[in-house]
Chain A
């Protein structure tokens, strides 16, 4: 260690004026402004927030018209749904006696309640639409073909999870629309050959839509399905990189 370095360390310890800077540097591993290609790619690889893209991407990947950003918009709508959903959980109770009144109270007696509930509902509609549009884009650009077939299958699983999240959330207001929609939906499941009635009984926890169904749909909606979706999204994004980034014409 050089003489100057020792002096600098001693100086740091001696001055309170250095404290904010030291705290900042202890949290953020700031580097000098990168000047070479290597340092630029290292800067991207080292940043958590840049990590969704790999350090090197094809020029086409960065153009909006390649994907219209539909996949990421789906992810962002999921983030909005998680944030608003957790807030709604503070005031909602999944019981037949209280659920509907709690939903009304969210609209009438909770600060920002109407806003949060509407954001959650519109966000849910948006997410279903965005996932569909994303899949259409993937299909039309041929991005489901080799070597990305498995990621397409993961995408199908993500679509089904999204739809099932939408369906389970639909019951929670416990109004007439919700009740009969789930009655009809689970009856459709009951038509599956052989195991249909069993599937319906598993979903509802009873022979009809009632207390057990509300509790089951709630647990699926707030824990099981979001956790599954998060894991699948991680796999989906990881596979994008492992499959060589976004699809592009073979000449490029």
Chain B
């Protein structure tokens, strides 16, 4: 510091060789650690998943009788048919993801007692949101397809032929 010889034209500086190397080395290590962390996060975030697809076929309109609803446990969906109109309601509880069971008044969750009415609106328990309704489309083959990435307002039905 004060014993450091001053170079010609240089202002009096507090930077010694040691503190300079510490600063640069520390900064390089910090950049390296940050980059390593970011790359580790990138690596751990899967680009391909192996779970069930978000867009899945659920059968033909003829599989569902008018005025009934069918629960598909694997797909975690409730397919409801009213006349020629079809809809898909999620059976995944909006609280913590358990599968709700259909009841006479709507749906009940076995995990923490959330209850929903027939339209999926919350009627009791800790559930924060109504059950999701998903868009139903009909493929050219006539098969019904539910897209779980495409949420629609409640009471959105698909008019089907036959």
A206 touches B96 (CB 8 A): no
User: What is the CB-to-nearest-CB distance from A151 to chain B, in angstroms, rounded to a whole number?
Assistant: 24
Residue A167 is within 8 A (CB to CB) of chain B in the complex: no
Considering only CB atoms, which chain B residue lies closest to A180 in the complex?
Answer: B98
Q: Chain B at the A interface: mostly helix, strand, loop or mixed?
A: loop
B98 touches A206 (CB 8 A): no
- Contact A187-B96, Cβ < 8 Å, known A180-B111, A202-B44: yes
Of residues 12 to 64 in B, which have CB atoms within 8 Å of A's CB atoms? 41, 44-46, 49-52, 54
Residues of A with C-beta under 8 A to B41: 202
Interface hit among A1-9, A207-215, A229-237: A207-215
Contact of A212 among B50, B54, B96, B98 (CB under 8 A): B50
Q: How far is the CA of A172 from the CA of B51 in the complex (A)?
A: 18
- Contact A206-B50, Cβ < 8 Å, known A183-B96, A184-B97, A184-B111: yes
Contact of A207 among B45, B49, B95, B96 (CB under 8 A): B49
Give the interface size class of chain A: 10 to 19
Residue A201 is within 8 A (CB to CB) of chain B in the complex: yes
Residues of A with C-beta under 8 A to B50: 206, 210-212
What is the 8 Å Cβ interface bit string for chain B, positions 84-99, against chain A (1 contact, 0 not)? Answer: 0000000000011110
Residues of A with C-beta under 8 A to B44: 202
Q: Chain A at the B interface: mostly helix, strand, loop or mixed?
A: helix
Residues of A with C-beta under 8 A to B46: 205-206, 212
Of residues 171 to 187 in A, which have CB atoms within 8 Å of B's CB atoms? 180, 183-184, 186-187
Residue A62 is within 8 A (CB to CB) of chain B in the complex: no
Residues of B with C-beta under 8 A to A211: 50-51
Residue A52 is within 8 A (CB to CB) of chain B in the complex: no
B111 touches A206 (CB 8 A): no
B45 touches A210 (CB 8 A): no
- Chain B residues in contact with chain A, CB under 8 A? 41, 44-46, 49-52, 54, 95-98, 111
Residues of A with C-beta under 8 A to B45: 201-202
Q: How far is the CA of A188 from the CA of B95 in the complex (A)?
A: 9
Most buried by A among B41, B54, B95, B96: B96
Residues of A with C-beta under 8 A to B51: 206-208, 210-212
Of residues 182 to 196 in A, which have CB atoms within 8 Å of B's CB atoms? 183-184, 186-188
* 23 A-B pairs with C-beta separation under 8 A: A180-B98, A183-B96, A183-B98, A184-B96, A184-B97, A186-B97, A187-B95, A187-B96, A188-B96, A201-B45, A202-B44, A202-B45, A205-B46, A206-B46, A206-B50, A207-B51, A207-B54, A208-B51, A211-B50, A211-B51, A212-B46, A212-B50, A212-B51
Residues of B with C-beta under 8 A to A188: 96
Residues of A with C-beta under 8 A to B97: 183-184, 186-187, 208
- Contact A212-B49, Cβ < 8 Å, known A183-B96, A183-B98: yes
User: What is the CB-to-nearest-CB distance from B30 to chain A, in angstroms, rounded to a whole number?
Assistant: 21
